[in-house]
Structure formats: structure tokens, C-alpha cells
Structure 1
Amino acid sequence: MSKIWKETGFVENDRWVIETEERKAGEGERAVLGLEAFIAAADETNEGGFGVLVSPACDVTRLQPYLDRIDLIAVAFPAFNDGRGFSHATLLRKRLGFTGEVRAVGDVLIDQVPLMLRTGFDSFSVSNAVALKRLEEGRLPGIAEHYQPTARDSAIVGGFSWRRLGTAGA
């Protein structure tokens, strides 16, 4: 069983459901559609409020014409060692300007959460026991200084233009 976590804590009664053969969105819930199913549905209506699931192999730039109609983009991490989701989040935030919720789903480990936050994720579907425990305790790993650009603005102003200072937790 996974729980949804944001920097403000765990989310109760999350309305998003990644549909499977066994689980469909019910009353008061919203379906998260795969990329192809989303594009087909979006092309049939002018409605908004969609949720989209993108896998590591998806081309997220295909979402560009629809971004104003998407509330949630769930980025799949089928394995902890597949980092393509980090690139997806960065592309969505920096190049495509997506301002809705970007959620990491799948194999989300505690050590990845700080970098996921830096690359543009705002929520996480967490099922890993260690990650759940550490998040409940408010214990995020991290380092104080970063040299890579980030999708999030730093809370610290100043310093070298090539250096990006972070606000890593304890």
C-alpha cells in the first residue's frame, strides 16, 4: 500500500487513481490515464483536470499542447536505478513550463526524494517501508550545496552564478 507524501506531510484522501484492470476510479476520484489513452481522451473533449501517467520511455513533449488541461502528471519509476523520470520532471518544469502537480510513482526511495524535489516533483507515491518511516519522522537526506541547475528556486540568494545552493534537510 502506498501513501502520498508532499513537503507538507502525508496527504489524506488523495483523489488520483492509476487505473488498472482491478482498480478503477470511483466516485470522487480522478483517473490517471496512460499517455496514449490521455491523448485520445483529450482529443475528444475540451475538458480539463486530467491526470496522466508517463513511463520512462514516453516522450513528455507530446503533452505540450495539452498542459493547460492537465492537473497531475505521474512519472513512473519502475526501478530505482532508472533515472529517466528525473529528466521528465526537468523537461516538464523548465522547458515546457508545466505548473501543475508532478508526482513520482513506483520505486521511490528516500535517498532520491531530495533530488526529485530539486528536479520539479511535488508529490510522491511511496510504498517503500524505509522511505515511509523516514518521511513520517521528517528525516530527508541531503547535502547543503549543489552544483547542478534546479527546477526550483533556491531559498538562498547570492554566491557564484554557476553554483546552485540548496536547502537540504537534516
Structure 2
Amino acid sequence: MSTIVWNREGVVEDDRWATVEGESAFVSMDEALELAATGGREIGVLVEPADDPARLKPILDRLAIIALDFPAFNDGRAFSHAALLRDRLGYGGEIRGVGDVLLDQVPFMLRVGIDSVETAHEPTARRLTEMRLPGVDLHYQPAALKAEPTNTYSWRRRAAV
């Protein structure tokens, strides 16, 4: 199976931002800042784990999509980047997780405000194609995704449907 792009509705066909034959349509943060200053085309930016997404604040309204890189399963900095973009910077456009995206991460990506994922990991792509996400019923922290308190502990939350 090749690389797929997935969102809550399922696999996205003919996505203009999808990686094709190893080539990405996203530009670096520095390139995005330059392109926004000159005007022109829609911009899709790739935010690497060491980047500071707050640098994008002046041009957030010019960005069509922000891709957050997950270079390894154990590197969670992109989760923090997504929360920063949604909660503090108020970005309302599409945020996509790219890179080493595995199935177990997807529910947590959705909770922090990531809208879509791109993955080449065959078991993950197969399960996403089948719309079979792992279940995570209770959460212990607030997030971009709405949640409702349970009838037990005040800090325990259930995802709102």
C-alpha cells in the first residue's frame, strides 16, 4: 500500500497536499514567511519538531494547511505544536500529521486539533481505510477536541460526540 491521506470522513482521494513519489507540496517555515510577504499562491507549510510555530502567527491567515512532522513514534513535539496552533494562536485551518504516523497516535492527534494524517505505514493505512481507530474512552486533560465531564472524578473526561 502506498501513502494515504486520511481524515474523519475516510481516505482523501487526490489531495493536492499529499506526498507523491517522495515529493511534498509543503514548504519550510522560512520559505512560507517569504512567500507570504510576496503574496501569490496558497501556502502549505511543514513545521519540523525543532521549529517554533509561533513564528507563523503573522501569516496564519495566509496558510491553507500546516503539516506537523512526526519523525519518529517517540517524538511528541508535534502534539504540542498542534495544541499551540489551535489554542493559543487560534489557527482554524487544516492541520495534518505527517511522517512516522502510527495508528495508536491518531486518536490523540485528533484530540489536539490535527484534522488529517498522511501515513505510509501499511498496517496503519489499512486500519484507517477500514475506519477502525483504537478506542480511547476517557481522557485526563483538556484538549482542542470537545469533551464532557464524567460522573466520577472531576479531572476525567469523555470525548463529546
Normalising by the residue count of structure 2, what TM-score does the alignment of the two structures yield? 0.89
Aligned to 1:144: 137
CA contact (8 A) 1:17 1:32 kept: no
Shift of 1:48: 6.1
Q: Distance in 2 between matches of 1:124 and 1:151?
A: 16
CA contact (8 A) 1:144 1:167 kept: no
**2:31 pairs with one of 28, 37, 48:** 37
Identity between Structure 1 and Structure 2 (%): 48
Deviation track 1:20-58 (CA, whole Å, cap 9, x = no partner) reads 9x747xxxxxx311111111111222x463110000000
Residues 167, 139 of structure 1: alpha-carbon distance in 2 compared, 3 angstrom cutoff: farther
Aligned to 1:10: 11
**Gap regions ≥5 residues in structure 2:** none
RMSD: 2.3
1:47-86 mapped onto 2 (5 Å cutoff): 47=40, 49-86=42-79
Q: Distance in 1 between matches of 2:52 and 2:111?
A: 21
Q: Distance in 2 between matches of 1:141 and 1:17?
A: 24
Deviation track 1:99-133 (CA, whole Å, cap 9, x = no partner) reads 00000000000000000000110000011011011
**Gap regions ≥5 residues in structure 1:** 25-30
Aligned to 1:115: 108
**1:87 pairs with one of 80, 102, 105:** 80
Aligned residues: 159
Q: Distance in 2 between matches of 1:67 and 1:161?
A: 35
Shift of 1:162: 3.5
Residues 19, 3 of structure 1: alpha-carbon distance in 2 compared, 3 angstrom cutoff: closer
Spell out structure 1 runs of 4+ moving beyond 2 A: 17-20, 156-164
CA contact (8 A) 1:19 1:33 kept: no
State the structure with bigger RCO (CA 8 A, min sep 6), 1 or 2. 2
Normalising by the residue count of structure 1, what TM-score does the alignment of the two structures yield? 0.84
Secondary structure of the 1:36 match is: helix
